[in-house]
C-alpha cells in the first residue's frame, strides 16, 4: 500500500494544478483511475472541502452529478470505487476494506490536493448510498454525507452517537424501492444526533432527477461555505417568496410553501436573511 501511495503522490505532483480541470488519479489496488475535479479559481494556499463519491453497482468512478450540483465550485470532487465490485455486502471484511481504502484516499487528498481534513464528505447513489451510510456509521472523522437512492440496513452494528450535529443529506425517488429504507436512515441518523435533510424526488423511481434538485444545490452550497453565503441565501429566499405570493391556486400554493420551508437556506437562515 505504501509503495502504491508514493507512486500516486508522485503522479499528482507531476500532473500539477494550473487550471480548473478533471485529472485522472491512477489507483492500482482498485484497478481503476479516479477522476478528480479541482474547483474553479483554485488557490493552493487555501484548504478546500472534498466530496468522495461512490457509484452504483456495475458503474465506474464518477463525480459528474456532483459536478453539476456544485457547478464546479467550492469542492474538490473525487469519483471513488470499490475493492469488491459486486453488490454491497454488510460484512466485517467489506467494511474493513472500505474504511482502509477511504483512509488511504483521505491521506492523499490532505497531503497533495489542499483538502481540509475537517471537511471531507462522502456520498453515493444506490450501492454508493448504502456504502455512504455504512461509512458515516463508522468513520467519525467525516464531515457529513449524502445518501442517495438508498438507506440503512436493518441488521448492523450499533453506531455511536455523533459528537457534533453532523450534516446528512438524504435524497430518494418517491417510487424508489429503497424509499422506505431512506426513511429508516432519516430516523437512524437523527437518533445519532445528525442534522438530516430529506429530499423526496416526486414522480421518479430508482434514478436521479434530470437536474440536480434545489435542496441538494443549497445543501452543498452551505457545506462549501465561504464569503457571501448569507447574502446569496437571502436573495434566493426573497426571490422565491415573491414567486410564492404570485401562485393563485391554493393547492399548488400549499405544496410550494411546504417545499419552501424544508429547504436548507430557509431552515438555516430563515425568511429574514
pLDDT tens sequence across 109-122: 999 888 999 999 99
pTM, two decimals, is 0.90
- Look at the block and give the residue holding cell 469542492: 75
Hey, which bits of 180-258 come out as E strands? 195-201
Cell numbers placing 174: 418517491
Is residue 192 within 8 Å of residue 159, measured between CB atoms?
yes
**pLDDT per position in the chain (273 positions), as tens?**
444 444 454 444 434 444 678 989 999 989 999 999 998 778 888 899 999 999 999 999 999 999 999 999 999 999 999 988 777 677 788 889 999 999 999 999 999 888 999 999 999 999 999 999 999 999 999 999 999 999 998 766 677 899 889 999 999 999 999 999 999 999 999 999 999 999 999 999 999 999 999 999 999 999 998 889 999 999 999 999 999 999 999 999 999 999 999 999 999 888 654
Exposure string of 39-74, with b = 16+ CB inside 10 Å and e = fewer, is beebeeeeebbbbbbbbbeebebbbebbbebbebeb
Is residue 149 within 8 Å of residue 206, measured between CB atoms?
yes
Is residue 80 within 8 Å of residue 54, measured between CB atoms?
yes
**Which residues are paired to 27 by β-bridges?**
32
Phi first, then psi: give them for residue 146, nearest 5 degrees.
Answer: -125, 110
pLDDT tens sequence across 131-172: 999 999 999 999 999 999 999 987 666 778 998 899 999 999
Amino acid at each position: 500500500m505504501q509503495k502504491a501511495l508514493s507512486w500516486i503522490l508522485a503522479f499528482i505532483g507531476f500532473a500539477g494544478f494550473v487550471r480548473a480541470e478533471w485529472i485522472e488519479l491512477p489507483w492500482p489496488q482498485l484497478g481503476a483511475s479516479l477522476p478528480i475535479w479541482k474547483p474553479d479559481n483554485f488557490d493552493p494556499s487555501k484548504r478546500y472541502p472534498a466530496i468522495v463519491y461512490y457509484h452504483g453497482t456495475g458503474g465506474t468512478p464518477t463525480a459528474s452529478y456532483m459536478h453539476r450540483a456544485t457547478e464546479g465550485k467550492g469542492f474538490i470532487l473525487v469519483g471513488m470505487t470499490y475493492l469488491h465490485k459486486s453488490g454491497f455486502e454488510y460484512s466485517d471484511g467489506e467494511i474493513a476494506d472500505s474504511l482502509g481504502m477511504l483512509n488511504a484516499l483521505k491521506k492523499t487528498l490532505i497531503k497533495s490536493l489542499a483538502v481540509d481534513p475537517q471537511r471531507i464528505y462522502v456520498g453515493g447513489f444506490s450501492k454508493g448510498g448504502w456504502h455512504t451510510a455504512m461509512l458515516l456509521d463508522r468513520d467519525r472523522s467525516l464531515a457529513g454525507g449524502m445518501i442517495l437512492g438508498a438507506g440503512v440496513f436493518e441488521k448492523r452494528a450499533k453506531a455511536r452517537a455523533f459528537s457534533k450535529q453532523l450534516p446528512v443529506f438524504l435524497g430518494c425517488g418517491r417510487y424508489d424501492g429503497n424509499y422506505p429504507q431512506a426513511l429508516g436512515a432519516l430516523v437512524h441518523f437523527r437518533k445519532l444526533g445528525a442534522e438530516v435533510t430529506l429530499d423526496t424526488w416526486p414522480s421518479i423511481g430508482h434514478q436521479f432527477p434530470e437536474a440536480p434538485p434545489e435542496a441538494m444545490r443549497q445543501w452543498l452550497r452551505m457545506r462549501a461555505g465561504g464569503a457571501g453565503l448569507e447574502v446569496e441565501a437571502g436573495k434566493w429566499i426573497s426571490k422565491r417568496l415573491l414567486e410564492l405570493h404570485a401562485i393563485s391556486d391554493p393547492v399548488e400554493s400549499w405544496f410550494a410553501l411546504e417545499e419552501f420551508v424544508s429547504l436548507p437556506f430557509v431552515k438555516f437562515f430563515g425568511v429574514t436573511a
